[in-house]
Amino acid sequence: MWSDVLERSVAALSTVQHGQGFLRIEQLCKAYNPLKPVFSGVSFTLDKGEFVCIIGHSGCGKTTILNVLAGLDQATSGHVFMDGREVAGPSLERGVVFQGHALMPWLTVRQNIAFAVRSRWPDVSSQELKDQVEKFVAMVSLSHALDKKPSQLSGGMKQRVGIARAFAIQPKMLLLDEPFGALDALTRGTIQDELMGIVRQTQQTVFMITHDVDEAILLADRILLMSNGSESAGVYTPGGIAEVVVNPLPRSRTRSGLHHLPGYYDLRNHIVDFLVTRALAH
Protein backbone atom coordinates (compact mmCIF):
# COMPACT_ATOMS: atom_id res chain seq x y z
CA MET A 1 0.00 0.00 0.00
CA TRP A 2 2.75 2.42 0.96
CA SER A 3 4.65 1.83 -2.27
CA ASP A 4 1.51 2.97 -4.10
CA VAL A 5 1.46 6.12 -1.98
CA LEU A 6 5.08 6.87 -2.87
CA GLU A 7 4.39 6.30 -6.57
CA ARG A 8 1.54 8.81 -6.35
CA SER A 9 3.90 11.20 -4.57
CA VAL A 10 6.42 11.02 -7.41
CA ALA A 11 3.65 11.59 -9.94
CA ALA A 12 2.38 14.50 -7.87
CA LEU A 13 5.84 16.05 -7.77
CA SER A 14 5.98 16.02 -11.56
CA THR A 15 2.54 17.62 -11.74
CA VAL A 16 3.42 20.12 -9.05
CA GLN A 17 6.56 21.25 -10.80
CA HIS A 18 5.08 21.57 -14.27
CA GLY A 19 1.33 22.09 -13.75
CA GLN A 20 -0.74 25.22 -14.13
CA GLY A 21 -2.23 25.45 -10.64
CA PHE A 22 -4.09 28.30 -8.99
CA LEU A 23 -0.83 29.15 -7.18
CA ARG A 24 2.34 28.51 -9.14
CA ILE A 25 5.88 28.80 -7.75
CA GLU A 26 8.68 28.62 -10.30
CA GLN A 27 12.36 28.04 -9.48
CA LEU A 28 12.33 30.08 -6.26
CA CYS A 29 15.73 30.83 -4.72
CA LYS A 30 16.74 32.77 -1.61
CA ALA A 31 20.39 33.58 -0.95
CA TYR A 32 21.86 35.82 1.72
CA ASN A 33 25.27 34.47 0.75
CA PRO A 34 25.40 34.12 -3.06
CA LEU A 35 27.59 31.03 -2.75
CA LYS A 36 25.28 29.27 -0.28
CA PRO A 37 21.58 29.83 -1.02
CA VAL A 38 19.20 28.85 1.78
CA PHE A 39 17.09 27.09 -0.86
CA SER A 40 17.08 26.92 -4.63
CA GLY A 41 14.98 25.47 -7.43
CA VAL A 42 11.78 25.42 -5.38
CA SER A 43 8.83 24.78 -7.70
CA PHE A 44 5.33 23.61 -6.82
CA THR A 45 1.68 24.45 -7.42
CA LEU A 46 -1.52 24.52 -5.40
CA ASP A 47 -4.89 23.85 -6.95
CA LYS A 48 -7.87 25.96 -5.96
CA GLY A 49 -9.40 24.60 -2.76
CA GLU A 50 -6.35 22.51 -1.90
CA PHE A 51 -4.75 22.39 1.57
CA VAL A 52 -0.96 21.96 1.45
CA CYS A 53 1.41 21.76 4.42
CA ILE A 54 5.17 22.19 4.32
CA ILE A 55 7.41 20.48 6.90
CA GLY A 56 11.13 20.84 7.50
CA HIS A 57 13.66 21.68 10.17
CA SER A 58 14.39 25.23 11.32
CA GLY A 59 16.55 27.15 8.88
CA CYS A 60 15.39 25.36 5.72
CA GLY A 61 13.48 28.44 4.51
CA LYS A 62 9.82 27.53 5.09
CA THR A 63 8.85 30.90 6.53
CA THR A 64 10.81 32.72 3.83
CA ILE A 65 8.80 30.87 1.18
CA LEU A 66 5.53 31.77 2.93
CA ASN A 67 6.59 35.42 3.20
CA VAL A 68 7.41 35.47 -0.52
CA LEU A 69 3.97 34.01 -1.28
CA ALA A 70 2.43 36.70 0.94
CA GLY A 71 4.38 39.45 -0.84
CA LEU A 72 6.16 40.35 2.41
CA ASP A 73 9.61 39.29 1.21
CA GLN A 74 11.37 38.98 -2.14
CA ALA A 75 13.10 35.92 -3.48
CA THR A 76 16.59 36.26 -4.92
CA SER A 77 15.26 34.69 -8.11
CA GLY A 78 12.19 32.86 -9.34
CA HIS A 79 8.53 33.77 -9.66
CA VAL A 80 5.21 33.34 -7.85
CA PHE A 81 1.91 33.50 -9.71
CA MET A 82 -1.55 33.43 -8.17
CA ASP A 83 -4.67 33.19 -10.28
CA GLY A 84 -2.64 34.06 -13.38
CA ARG A 85 -0.93 37.18 -11.98
CA GLU A 86 2.57 37.52 -10.57
CA VAL A 87 2.79 38.26 -6.85
CA ALA A 88 4.61 41.56 -6.49
CA GLY A 89 3.69 42.69 -2.97
CA PRO A 90 1.19 42.31 -0.12
CA SER A 91 -2.47 42.00 -1.05
CA LEU A 92 -5.76 41.42 0.73
CA GLU A 93 -6.27 38.61 -1.78
CA ARG A 94 -3.91 36.62 0.47
CA GLY A 95 -4.79 36.30 4.14
CA VAL A 96 -1.91 35.61 6.54
CA VAL A 97 -2.06 34.15 10.06
CA PHE A 98 1.18 34.07 12.04
CA GLN A 99 1.98 32.29 15.29
CA GLY A 100 1.53 35.63 17.04
CA HIS A 101 -2.03 36.85 16.74
CA ALA A 102 -1.08 40.45 15.73
CA LEU A 103 -4.32 41.94 17.03
CA MET A 104 -4.62 45.66 17.72
CA PRO A 105 -4.83 45.72 21.54
CA TRP A 106 -6.92 48.91 21.74
CA LEU A 107 -9.72 47.42 19.61
CA THR A 108 -12.32 44.83 20.53
CA VAL A 109 -12.71 41.53 18.69
CA ARG A 110 -15.50 43.06 16.63
CA GLN A 111 -13.44 46.16 15.81
CA ASN A 112 -10.30 44.17 14.92
CA ILE A 113 -12.18 42.12 12.35
CA ALA A 114 -14.29 45.05 11.14
CA PHE A 115 -11.09 47.02 10.44
CA ALA A 116 -9.88 44.24 8.12
CA VAL A 117 -13.25 43.88 6.40
CA ARG A 118 -13.52 47.64 5.86
CA SER A 119 -9.99 47.66 4.43
CA ARG A 120 -11.04 45.04 1.87
CA TRP A 121 -14.42 46.61 1.05
CA PRO A 122 -14.35 50.35 1.90
CA ASP A 123 -17.93 50.90 0.74
CA VAL A 124 -19.53 48.05 2.70
CA SER A 125 -22.70 49.11 4.55
CA SER A 126 -22.85 49.08 8.36
CA GLN A 127 -25.26 46.15 8.35
CA GLU A 128 -23.19 44.13 5.88
CA LEU A 129 -20.08 44.85 7.96
CA LYS A 130 -21.84 43.70 11.13
CA ASP A 131 -23.12 40.54 9.45
CA GLN A 132 -19.71 39.65 7.99
CA VAL A 133 -17.92 40.11 11.31
CA GLU A 134 -20.47 38.15 13.32
CA LYS A 135 -20.59 35.32 10.76
CA PHE A 136 -16.88 34.56 10.99
CA VAL A 137 -16.63 35.14 14.75
CA ALA A 138 -19.39 32.55 15.14
CA MET A 139 -17.40 30.13 12.98
CA VAL A 140 -14.59 30.15 15.55
CA SER A 141 -17.03 29.97 18.49
CA LEU A 142 -16.27 33.44 19.87
CA SER A 143 -19.63 35.20 19.60
CA HIS A 144 -19.62 35.65 23.38
CA ALA A 145 -16.36 37.62 23.17
CA LEU A 146 -17.27 40.04 20.37
CA ASP A 147 -16.87 43.13 22.50
CA LYS A 148 -13.84 42.04 24.52
CA LYS A 149 -10.35 43.38 23.95
CA PRO A 150 -7.34 41.10 23.36
CA SER A 151 -6.12 41.57 26.94
CA GLN A 152 -9.30 39.85 28.11
CA LEU A 153 -8.75 36.78 25.90
CA SER A 154 -6.70 33.62 26.30
CA GLY A 155 -3.96 32.75 23.81
CA GLY A 156 -6.23 30.29 22.02
CA MET A 157 -9.03 32.85 21.78
CA LYS A 158 -6.65 35.42 20.29
CA GLN A 159 -5.59 32.95 17.61
CA ARG A 160 -9.24 32.26 16.86
CA VAL A 161 -9.75 35.99 16.30
CA GLY A 162 -6.75 36.04 13.94
CA ILE A 163 -8.19 33.13 11.97
CA ALA A 164 -11.66 34.73 11.86
CA ARG A 165 -10.12 37.99 10.64
CA ALA A 166 -8.23 36.21 7.87
CA PHE A 167 -11.33 34.35 6.68
CA ALA A 168 -13.60 37.42 7.00
CA ILE A 169 -11.84 39.26 4.17
CA GLN A 170 -12.50 36.22 1.97
CA PRO A 171 -8.99 36.01 0.52
CA LYS A 172 -8.30 33.91 -2.52
CA MET A 173 -5.67 32.11 -0.46
CA LEU A 174 -4.83 31.64 3.20
CA LEU A 175 -1.22 31.47 4.41
CA LEU A 176 -0.64 30.02 7.88
CA ASP A 177 2.75 30.18 9.63
CA GLU A 178 2.55 27.71 12.53
CA PRO A 179 -0.59 29.42 13.84
CA PHE A 180 -1.08 26.91 16.67
CA GLY A 181 2.55 26.50 17.72
CA ALA A 182 2.23 28.45 20.98
CA LEU A 183 -1.00 26.80 22.14
CA ASP A 184 -1.52 23.95 24.57
CA ALA A 185 -2.43 20.56 23.09
CA LEU A 186 -6.13 20.69 23.99
CA THR A 187 -6.67 24.19 22.58
CA ARG A 188 -4.59 23.35 19.53
CA GLY A 189 -6.75 20.31 18.79
CA THR A 190 -9.97 22.28 19.17
CA ILE A 191 -8.83 25.01 16.78
CA GLN A 192 -7.57 22.42 14.28
CA ASP A 193 -11.07 20.99 14.19
CA GLU A 194 -12.57 24.46 13.75
CA LEU A 195 -10.12 25.29 10.97
CA MET A 196 -10.97 22.07 9.14
CA GLY A 197 -14.66 22.87 9.39
CA ILE A 198 -14.24 26.40 8.03
CA VAL A 199 -11.96 25.27 5.18
CA ARG A 200 -14.48 22.63 4.13
CA GLN A 201 -17.29 25.16 4.31
CA THR A 202 -15.49 27.90 2.38
CA GLN A 203 -13.40 25.68 0.03
CA GLN A 204 -10.45 27.90 0.90
CA THR A 205 -7.01 27.34 -0.64
CA VAL A 206 -4.47 27.00 2.19
CA PHE A 207 -0.67 26.86 2.45
CA MET A 208 0.51 26.10 5.98
CA ILE A 209 3.83 25.72 7.76
CA THR A 210 3.91 23.24 10.62
CA HIS A 211 6.44 21.24 12.66
CA ASP A 212 3.69 18.87 13.81
CA VAL A 213 3.54 15.70 11.69
CA ASP A 214 0.08 14.71 12.95
CA GLU A 215 -1.23 18.21 12.25
CA ALA A 216 -0.02 17.96 8.66
CA ILE A 217 -1.57 14.51 8.21
CA LEU A 218 -4.86 15.72 9.69
CA LEU A 219 -5.18 18.90 7.63
CA ALA A 220 -3.26 18.54 4.37
CA ASP A 221 -4.15 17.07 0.99
CA ARG A 222 -0.44 17.09 0.17
CA ILE A 223 2.65 17.50 2.35
CA LEU A 224 5.85 19.11 1.03
CA LEU A 225 8.98 17.76 2.72
CA MET A 226 11.74 20.35 2.72
CA SER A 227 15.45 19.70 3.21
CA ASN A 228 18.10 22.01 4.67
CA GLY A 229 21.16 23.10 2.75
CA SER A 230 24.20 20.88 3.27
CA GLU A 231 27.91 20.84 2.53
CA SER A 232 29.92 17.72 1.82
CA ALA A 233 33.53 17.47 0.68
CA GLY A 234 33.53 21.21 0.07
CA VAL A 235 30.46 21.09 -2.17
CA TYR A 236 27.38 22.99 -0.98
CA THR A 237 23.87 21.81 -1.89
CA PRO A 238 21.02 24.29 -1.25
CA GLY A 239 17.87 23.22 0.53
CA GLY A 240 14.66 22.62 -1.39
CA ILE A 241 11.56 20.51 -1.76
CA ALA A 242 12.90 16.98 -1.38
CA GLU A 243 9.62 15.12 -1.73
CA VAL A 244 5.89 15.68 -2.15
CA VAL A 245 3.67 13.25 -0.27
CA VAL A 246 0.05 12.85 -1.32
CA ASN A 247 -2.15 12.19 1.73
CA PRO A 248 -4.04 8.95 0.97
CA LEU A 249 -6.32 9.14 4.03
CA PRO A 250 -10.00 10.06 3.52
CA ARG A 251 -10.61 13.81 3.56
CA SER A 252 -13.37 13.33 6.13
CA ARG A 253 -10.73 12.28 8.69
CA THR A 254 -10.99 13.58 12.26
CA ARG A 255 -8.37 14.20 14.91
CA SER A 256 -9.82 11.58 17.25
CA GLY A 257 -10.06 8.92 14.55
CA LEU A 258 -6.83 9.64 12.70
CA HIS A 259 -4.73 6.89 14.27
CA HIS A 260 -7.39 4.26 13.48
CA LEU A 261 -7.20 4.83 9.72
CA PRO A 262 -5.40 2.22 7.58
CA GLY A 263 -2.18 3.74 6.25
CA TYR A 264 -1.86 6.36 8.99
CA TYR A 265 1.18 4.83 10.69
CA ASP A 266 2.93 4.14 7.37
CA LEU A 267 2.42 7.76 6.36
CA ARG A 268 3.51 9.12 9.73
CA ASN A 269 6.60 6.89 9.89
CA HIS A 270 7.62 7.93 6.38
CA ILE A 271 7.51 11.63 7.26
CA VAL A 272 9.26 11.14 10.61
CA ASP A 273 11.96 9.07 8.91
CA PHE A 274 12.51 11.91 6.45
CA LEU A 275 12.86 14.45 9.27
CA VAL A 276 15.23 12.24 11.25
CA THR A 277 17.46 10.84 8.52
CA ARG A 278 17.16 12.92 5.34
CA ALA A 279 16.09 16.50 6.03
CA LEU A 280 18.98 17.91 8.01
CA ALA A 281 22.40 18.84 6.66
CA HIS A 282 24.98 16.32 7.93
Instruction: Output the tens digit of pLDDT for each of the chain's 282 residues.
Output: 444 444 444 444 433 343 468 999 999 999 999 899 999 999 999 999 999 999 999 999 999 999 999 999 999 999 999 999 999 899 989 999 887 778 999 999 999 999 999 999 999 999 999 999 999 999 888 999 999 999 999 988 998 899 899 889 989 999 999 888 777 877 788 888 888 888 888 889 999 999 999 999 999 999 999 999 988 888 889 999 999 999 999 988 888 889 999 999 999 999 999 999 988 764
Report pTM.
0.87
The confidence score (pLDDT) of residue 185 equals 79
- φ, ψ of residue 77 to 5 degrees: the values are -155, 165
Record: fold of 2-93+174-180+205-278:
Rossmann fold (3.40.50)
- Relative orientation angle of helices 126-139 and 185-202, to the nearest 10 degrees: 130
- Cβ atoms < 10 Å from Cβ of 63: 18
Of the CA atoms within 13 Å of residue 254, those in its CB half-sphere come to: 3
The confidence score (pLDDT) of residue 20 equals 63
Spatial contact of 63 and 209, defined as CB atoms under 8 Å apart: yes
Spatial contact of 96 and 71, defined as CB atoms under 8 Å apart: no
The confidence score (pLDDT) of residue 15 equals 39
Closest CA to 81 of 40, 26, 30: 26
Pinpoint the alpha helices (H) of the chain: 2-18, 62-70, 109-120, 126-139, 155-168, 185-202, 213-219, 264-273
DSSP secondary structure letter of residue 192 = H
Give the C-alpha separation, 148 to 105, whole Å.
10
Tell me the per-residue pLDDT of 55-93, one tens digit each, with 9 for 90 and over: 999 999 999 999 999 999 999 999 999 999 999 899 989
Give the C-alpha separation, 107 to 89, whole Å.
27
